[in-house]
Structure 1
Amino acid sequence: MDSGADSQGKPRLAVIGTGIAGLSAAYLLKDDHQVTVFESQARAGMGAHSVDYASKGITSRIDIPLRIFCHGYYDNLLALYDHIGVEILTSDHSGIFSDETGRVLLHYGNFRLGSVHLSHLKGNSWLNPAAWTIGLQSRRFFARAKRDVSRSGLAELSFGEYLQQSGAGREFVATVLLPMMSVTCTCSYQAVRDYPADLMLEYLTCGVHELGIMTAAKGVDDIVPRMLVDVELQTNSPIALVEPDGEQLRVVTKAGSTRHFDQVVIAAQAHQAAAMLAGFEERRVLLGRIPFERSSMSVHSDQEILPAPVKGLSPVNYHVPRDAERAEVSVDLTKAIARLSDQETVFQTWNPIRRIAPNRELARVEFTRPTVTRDSRKAVIALREQHCQPGNRLWLCGSYMTEKIPLLEAAVDSSVAVAGHLGAAIPWKTDTPSAV
């Protein structure tokens, strides 16, 4: 068995997974620990599926999926990016919504007035009574949501129950709200309805619609190396087993390599974490209560999916067939991402329903994302309580481990919490957390 500390006396710590949760955990813990990061794929996870796009003599990297965020909700993520020097740009994510026949139901754009983004109808939506109805229902919904967000008892309601009780307009919910939140949460409409109402309202009233969307100017390839300084990265190293071994934890890769660590942070999806664990039966059972859904993402240049010529359209196209379980959502990256603006039109489509021409497709990626229910929330509370047990050495980290929608911010929140338990300084916090 190898020693529990390096030559400088630092305890050994493993981070399993290189999404933003694992990367930020490694970054926050590297000063006080000898950190080894394990990644199952050939590249660090945030950039594992990025592809090169060449057109007009320019080659750019496209992140799959897009990473977007906003002020008002992503406090830790933005503080982390600021601390490590990531440049941030605003991004237009206004949209057009059409049905299975291609009929436009709503088309809106954004313009900026000082620091505030305002939305307005575009094209024929100005003359469409149905679009005006959706717009008015939207205003009523958000006005009520802002009043209700601090109401007691919301955690006991599902979002679907809240929509019914609050009298939210049916056209707005079916045409706009559910499609927008299904792509935000990368899940089905039913999963959106199953979310605890307070989590949904917290996000919807955070200012995302007034303050606008942002992205990292240079994409994830600029972010990942900044968080891997002074750590050991082991790629192509899927983990088969994490189990107690005396005063340490034994980590075994699927290739059979074995190493011992004083602390282990598992920053993988909940079902993946459960599959690694031996000797942690209670945590395995709790992890099994975290639901997840599978999705696919296509990067392509097929304009046949659009309801109208690309030139006059808003960047995000929502295809919302009646009776569909999810929307099909296509982002025109050349309009939404500044570094791609001089290239030929290219799209990223979540949940492709319609056929995309094979000769127009650059990449297709399958992935899973957690969702939240009232039951899974109870399981996460119990998992977090395990972190407070004396002598705990196993830490679960990921977007599913917080009291938020499982987005980038939740992932960083979880790594900040783990770092706090281990006594690490959070550079952007005024008060350094103490070990628990």
Structure 2
Amino acid sequence: MGVVKAEDAPTKTVAVVGTGMAGLVTAYLLRQDKYNRFDVEVFEAQDQCSFDSASVTVSSKDGTRTSRVDQPMRAFDRGYYANLTAMYDYLDVRYHQERFFFSFARLPSHGSTVSGSSMTEPQPYFIHSSNNHRIPPMRPEACGMWTWLSETVYLAFCLVWFTVLCLFVQPKDSRSIDGQVRHCESLEQYLRRIWIPKYFIKSYLLPGLASISTCTHAEMLNFPAKDVIDYKIRSLNSPHLRVSGGVSEVQKKLCQGLTVHFNCRVTTISQNDSTVRVLWESPKHDSCDGTSNQKTFDHVILAVPPNVVGSIFAPLKSEMSHIPTAAVESIIHTDIPATGQQHSHNALYQLDSHPVPPNWIHFRSSTHLTEAIHEDPETSVIVTNFPTTPIDPSKIISRTHFTRTLRTPRSRDIVNRIFDPSYQRRSASVGDESMSKRARRFINGDGNVWLVGSWCWDGMVLLEGCVVSATRVAGELGVEIPWRTL
């Protein structure tokens, strides 16, 4: 008696701020609630959903059809991205296996600082096939036989050594020592502890990892070691996959039936008893009828980077300042010489290309960062992240800057404290803060304000984090996650 059944519960109003993967998945799940308990509105600062906003549609090489080129490229695998893959299967999103060839080259020492100047063409020193689908590996034209053989043997030994240690030597976690917090082990500290050779780190490990996380080498070395080791173990020998037709296909399915207010930049989130007020700015148009707007909701879900969270939600302003973010540049272009490869004269491309053309990703590294270049096999389009090599401006299709959330041992502790209520009981807080002060700290869901995003979990800042955090919030609100029953 007195118990309200789920199907009889009053409708709750929900605002979702942001239309990346995390925001769209959360809004989709709430809207699909079988009891129809949520009235969802989505706010987006741009004039289109941000998840696919930087991608472009281009013609295929033969000109017979068009292809969608994702920016940035979003490859995944079944090992690490278990929740993402389950969601794709439920949504009937088609995806296919990709076999990449990774070429590793060194940029000239001046290449990363002198833009637009002529430079010596970087020569690959090794070519690796994803999941070793080509054995033995190809020999770069610039490498002599003995140099290539010695490099291959060295790399094979280091990879086996590193993999074994990842499986059996766990990174040190955060812990309390004499009442003081000791943050978890960074990747740099872990690699030093297990005696991984510096040449292997700077020539192979960092170029690949920094390209995945789109950050500098120094920023990658400061990631929690646990993030990287978990990623390495869970993705081991899992084939690379990509959504057929681009992530726009995912966006279409998630957006069906959603009410989205475009060109509405949320400026303030304020809590008021059991409701939350949202203030936003927008030009005068269809969905927002003034220059200053506000509305009260039962729940607000923030699906934005931590720097934006800190700027619009006062209770988290201080802690969000300790979660680093970086602006990353990505360019879609057709400047083939900018890849540094000449197809007709380079042994890189002397391989069977039928029926499927080779799928190249070039890692070109300086001492502090890696320029990642992906040659789309179906078009003549190239996507370059962290552009260092001069690109002909007339051949640039689009140039995008996006915010990338980084990880540090300290930021990991902050994130875990927010999203895992039991974490603070297992790990002491920093300094000499009193228990009463710590008790007032925000935990996800306090005051009906929720956070979701690729950074809102204990792992690499990738799409899997978007799905994990979105399903966690939906679950807290009593919504069943349909793909968990598959």
SS at match of 1:265: strand
- Structure 1 residue 170 corresponds to structure 2 residue 218: no
| Aligned pair partner of 1:190 in 201, 218, 222 | 218
Deviations 1:201-257 (A, max 9, x none): 00012134x122111112122111211233211111111111123431111111312
The 2-side partners of 1:196 and 1:264 are apart by: 30
Once structures 1 and 2 are overlaid, which stretch shifts more, 378-387 or 397-406? 378-387
SS at match of 1:205: helix
| Aligned pair partner of 2:79 in 69, 72, 76 | 72
Deviations 1:136-182 (A, max 9, x none): 22222122212224x66487211101111111122221111101110
Pair 225,297 (structure 1): closer, same or farther in 2 beyond 3 Å? same
The 1-side partners of 2:336 and 2:445 are apart by: 58
What letter matches 1:107 in structure 2? I
TM-score, normalised to structure 2, is 0.79
| Aligned pair partner of 1:316 in 352, 355, 361 | 361
| Aligned pair partner of 2:161 in 125, 140, 144 | 140
What letter matches 1:415 in structure 2? A
Alignment of 1:163-242 (within 5 A): 163-208=191-236, 210-242=237-269
- Structure 1 residue 292 corresponds to structure 2 residue 325: yes
Deviations 1:29-82 (A, max 9, x none): 112311111111111111111112135323322111111111111111111111
CA contact (8 A) 1:108 1:314 kept: no
Alignment correspondent of 1:3: none
- Structure 1 residue 326 corresponds to structure 2 residue 369: yes
Deviation of 1:118 after TM superposition, in Å, equals: 6.4
The 1-side partners of 2:129 and 2:52 are apart by: 30
Deviation of 1:353 after TM superposition, in Å, equals: 0.6
| Aligned pair partner of 1:422 in 470, 474, 477 | 477
The 1-side partners of 2:20 and 2:475 are apart by: 19
SS at match of 2:464: helix
Deviations 1:98-157 (A, max 9, x none): 112412211122478xxxx566411246641234323322222122212224x6648721
Pair 144,237 (structure 1): closer, same or farther in 2 beyond 3 Å? same
The 2-side partners of 1:89 and 1:317 are apart by: 21
Alignment correspondent of 2:425: none
| Aligned pair partner of 1:272 in 276, 287, 308 | 308
Deviations 1:299-352 (A, max 9, x none): 11112123432444761111113x2x2100101111xxxxxx2x3x22111100
SS at match of 2:322: coil
SS at match of 2:234: coil
What letter matches 2:153 in structure 1? W
TM-score, normalised to structure 1, is 0.87
CA contact (8 A) 1:42 1:48 kept: no
SS at match of 1:401: coil
The 2-side partners of 1:398 and 1:390 are apart by: 14
Aligned residue-pair number: 406
SS at match of 2:461: coil
The 2-side partners of 1:254 and 1:239 are apart by: 6
The 1-side partners of 2:478 and 2:193 are apart by: 44
Pair 158,205 (structure 1): closer, same or farther in 2 beyond 3 Å? same
Pair 40,410 (structure 1): closer, same or farther in 2 beyond 3 Å? same
- Structure 1 residue 34 corresponds to structure 2 residue 50: no
| Aligned pair partner of 2:137 in 118, 121, 124 | 121
Name the larger-Rg structure. 2
The 2-side partners of 1:378 and 1:391 are apart by: 18
| Aligned pair partner of 2:55 in 30, 46, 50 | 50
| Aligned pair partner of 2:336 in 303, 310, 318 | 303
Pair 119,165 (structure 1): closer, same or farther in 2 beyond 3 Å? farther
Alignment correspondent of 1:407: 462
SS at match of 1:121: coil
The 2-side partners of 1:213 and 1:397 are apart by: 25
Alignment of 1:88-99 (within 5 A): 88-99=95-106
The 2-side partners of 1:275 and 1:388 are apart by: 18
Once structures 1 and 2 are overlaid, which stretch shifts more, 231-240 or 13-22? 231-240
Where does structure 1 lack aligned partners over 5 or more consecutive residues? 1-6, 335-340, 432-436
Deviation of 1:263 after TM superposition, in Å, equals: 0.2
What letter matches 1:360 in structure 2? K
The 1-side partners of 2:446 and 2:189 are apart by: 42
The 2-side partners of 1:388 and 1:361 are apart by: 44
CA contact (8 A) 2:19 2:303 kept: yes
What letter matches 2:330 in structure 1? M
| Aligned pair partner of 2:381 in 342, 346, 366 | 346
Alignment correspondent of 2:293: 257
Percent identity over paired residues: 24
The 1-side partners of 2:405 and 2:79 are apart by: 22
CA contact (8 A) 1:274 1:288 kept: yes
CA RMSD of aligned residues (A): 2.3
Once structures 1 and 2 are overlaid, which stretch shifts more, 16-25 or 89-98? 89-98
Deviation of 1:8 after TM superposition, in Å, equals: 9.6
The 1-side partners of 2:370 and 2:18 are apart by: 29
Alignment correspondent of 2:397: 362
